[in-house]
A and B are shown apart, each in its own frame.
Chain A
C-alpha cells in the first residue's frame, strides 16, 4: 500500500520542519510547539488537515509536495486523519480556537456553522479578483460552498453523484432486465427474492446509506422544492403530502423485503454492502460513485469483466421530479481559518490558485476513478474506467438539480435528528407521521 510511503514522508517532513525537530529533540517530554494554532515550518507556512486513506490521501499529499517544491520559501504542513477521527479532531480544535490554516470539509451545513461562528474567511472577493480560478471549477460545485450568498470555501477534489449500481450477471441469471422505472423495481423485488437473491444491498447500520433512498424517493416523487423549503428553514416544510407518501413507500419497501435480510447489522465502513453486490448475494445497490473504485479493487474481475452496471435512479410513475436530478457530493471543500495569520492565509490562497487547479491535480483524481470538480476533464477519461467516468460526468453536469446530501446540507443539529429518525423509520420504530413531526421540530435549527 502506498499509505506507508506517505506516512513516512510525512514523518520526515515534520522532522525537517522547525517545530517537528523541536518536538523530536524534546523526545516527547515537552514539545513547546503548538502546531494546532500557528502552523509548523516557521516563516511562510500553513497547516492543512484532511482525511487519510485511499484513494484521496496520496493525491492530497502529492499536491502539497508539488506546492512546497515550487515555492521554496513557503511550506504547507499536512496532517491526515481517518474520517471519524478527523470529525472529532477538527471540532475540538476549532472549539478551542486552534484550527489549522486550511480546514477540509464537506461544505453545506457544517460550513455554515463555521461561518456563523466567524471561524472561516469570506472568499467571495478573492474569487472575484481571481475569476480565472473560478472558471476552472464546475459551477454546480459552488452551491455547497456558499452561505448567505457568499463563498466561504474552495471546491476541490471530486464530484460524487449517488447512482443505482446493479450486478449484470445476476440480472442475466434471473433473466430480467435492469429497471427503467420505479414500477420496474417493484416488479423485480419478488423475482429476486424468489431466487434467494436480495433485491437491494443496504448497509443500514451506517444510517446515511438509508438516507440516500429517501433523497431519491422524495426527489422523484415531488421534485426538489420540498427539500429546498426545508433547507430554507420554512416552518412545517416536511408536512408536504409528498413526504408522507414517500415515507410510506420506503416502509413498504422494507416490509416487502426489498433490502437484504439483516441490513441493520451491515456497516458501510467494512464495505460489506458492496461485497454483497459483487458476490452476487444482492442484485442492486444505491451508493455513491466512489463505490466503483472499491468494487474494482476488491471484487476480483467483477468490474473488469463487465459485471457492474450503473444508472441514475429511475423515475417514479406520476412523480413530479425531473429524472435528470441527482444527489450526492458536489465536491469537497477547503476553507481558510479566520484565526490564521495574514501570511498563512496568503500561502493558502496561493495554494488554491495554483496547485489545486493545475493539470496534475485533475489527472490525479481522474486516475483514482473520480470525476474532478475541475472543468474540461472529459478528455482525460480513457482506459478501463472511461465509460464509468463519462457517465458520472454526464449525470453530474446533466442534472437539472444536483442536490447535496441532506446530512451535509443541513445544520449538524438537524442532520443528527434526521439520521436518527431515518434509522428508526427503516426499523419501523416510527410511523411516517411521527417522522414528519420529529423533523418539523428541527427545521431551521
Chain B
C-alpha cells in the first residue's frame, strides 16, 4: 500500500545499529522538525522558571521572602543563606550522597546486567525463570512497606548508622527494573551473533563482555542514570537506616532546614543551588560520553 523501504533481513533493530549514520541526517531532521523546535524552546522556558526562582530566592533573606515579588531579583542580594548552608556541613552531606550513589549504582548495574544476560541466555532453566519471576515481583515494592524488615536486617548485620546501610538496600531495590530493561534489550540481540561468538570459541563470560556489553550500552546508561537519580534523591532509607549527623545525605540535610513550625525556604534554595552546580558541571563535561553511551552500537 505505501512505499516500502527495503530493509534486508539481516538488518538489526535500531538500538544496536552500527553508528554509520549519515552526517546529513541531523540537518534534514532539523528542517522537518519545526514542531519539535518550537516545543524545545517552550519547554526550556518551562524548565527554567522554577530554576530561576530557586536561584534568586537563594539570595533573599527569609524575612523579606514573602514581602518581595516572587520573581524579582533581590535588591540587595545576601550571601547569608550560602553561609548558613556551608556552616551546616553541606559539603559533608554532598560527599556522603556521592559515596552512596556511586557505591550503590556500580554494583547494582553490574550484577543486574549479569543476571539479565543469564536470564536471556539460559531461559530454558526453571531456576532462572523463577529468578526472573522473583525480580518481577520486586518491580513495584513500595519501600515504605518493607522498611521495617529492612531496618531489622540492617541492625542484625550491625550496619546501622553507616553509609553501607544505605548502599546495600539501594542496590537491591535497583535490581528488578534494571534486570527488566536490560533483559528486554539483550533479548533483541540476534541469536546468530551469539552463535557466531560460540563458534569462535568464546565463553559465556567473554560473550557477555565482548558482545552483549557493547550492544547494551544505551540501556546500561539509561538504567544507570535512572537508578542513580533514585538513590541520589532517596529519603526514606537514609532517614531510617542512619542517625548521626555525619552520615546524613543531601535529601536529609535539606529537610533539616525545615524547622519545627516552618521552612527556611531561602536556605533550601541555597543548598539546592550549591549542590546542583557541581553535578551540572560534571554533566556538561561528561555529556558527550554519556550521549555516545546512549548511541553506542556494534563495533565501537
* Direct A–B touching, Cβ under 8 Å: yes
Q: Which of A33-82 contact B (CB under 8 A)?
A: 33-37, 51-57, 79, 81-82
Contact of B162 among A26, A36, A279, A291 (CB under 8 A): A26
Closest 10 pairs between A and B when the two form their complex, measured CB to CB: A53-B259, A4-B87, A28-B163, A275-B66, A31-B162, A271-B262, A82-B255, A53-B260, A54-B259, A32-B158
What is the distance, in angstroms, from B20's C-beta to the closest C-beta of chain A?
A: 47
Told that A26-B162, A272-B66, A300-B67 touch, could you supply 10 new A-B pairs with CB distance under 8 A?
A7-B88, A15-B246, A23-B161, A31-B160, A36-B155, A36-B160, A52-B259, A85-B252, A85-B255, A89-B240
Chain B residues contacting A30 (CB-CB under 8 Å) are 158-159, 162, 164
User: B262 to chain A: which residues have CB within 8 Å?
Assistant: 268-271, 294
Q: For the complex, is A253 an interface residue (Cβ under 8 Å from B)?
A: no
Q: In the complex, A65→B216 CA distance in Å?
A: 57
Which residues in B have some Cβ–Cβ distance to A below 8 Å? 62-67, 84, 87-89, 96, 99, 147-148, 151-152, 155, 158-165, 236, 239-240, 243-247, 252, 255-265, 267
Asked if residues B161 and A35 are in contact (CB atoms below 8 Å), the reply is yes
Least CB separation from A97: chain B residue: B152
Interface size range of chain A in the complex? 35 or more
For B238, give the chain A residue with the smallest CB separation.
Answer: A85
Whole-angstrom distance between the alpha carbons of A53 and B267 in the complex?
13
28 contacts between A and B (CB under 8 A): A8-B87, A8-B89, A15-B246, A23-B161, A23-B244, A23-B247, A26-B162, A28-B164, A30-B158, A31-B160, A31-B165, A33-B161, A35-B161, A52-B259, A53-B260, A82-B255, A85-B255, A92-B240, A98-B151, A269-B262, A269-B263, A270-B262, A270-B263, A271-B262, A275-B66, A279-B66, A300-B63, A300-B67
Residues of A contacting B263 with CB < 8 Å? Answer: 269-271
Q: Is A1 an interface residue (CB 8 A)?
A: yes
Give the B-binding residues of A (Cβ under 8 A): 1, 3-4, 7-8, 10-11, 14-15, 20, 23-24, 26, 28-37, 51-57, 79, 81-85, 88-89, 92, 95-96, 98, 268-272, 275, 279, 290-291, 293-294, 297-300
In the complex the two chains form, is A10's CB within 8 Å of B88's CB? no
Bound together, the chains give a CA A298 to CA B262 distance in angstroms of 11
Tell me the smallest distance from the CB of B254 to a CB of chain A, in Å: 9
Cα separation A163 to B63 with both chains bound (whole Å):
23
Closest to A50 in B: B260
- The distance from the CB of A2 to the nearest CB of chain B, in whole angstroms, is 10
Report the Cα distance A33→B242, complex, angstroms: 11
Given contacts A14-B244, A51-B260, A300-B64, contact A96 B162 (CB under 8 A): no
Q: Which residues on B sit within 8 Å (CB–CB) of A95? A: 148
Within 8 Å CB of A52, what residues of B?
256, 259-260
Asked if B89 and A79 sit within 8 Å, CB to CB, the answer is no
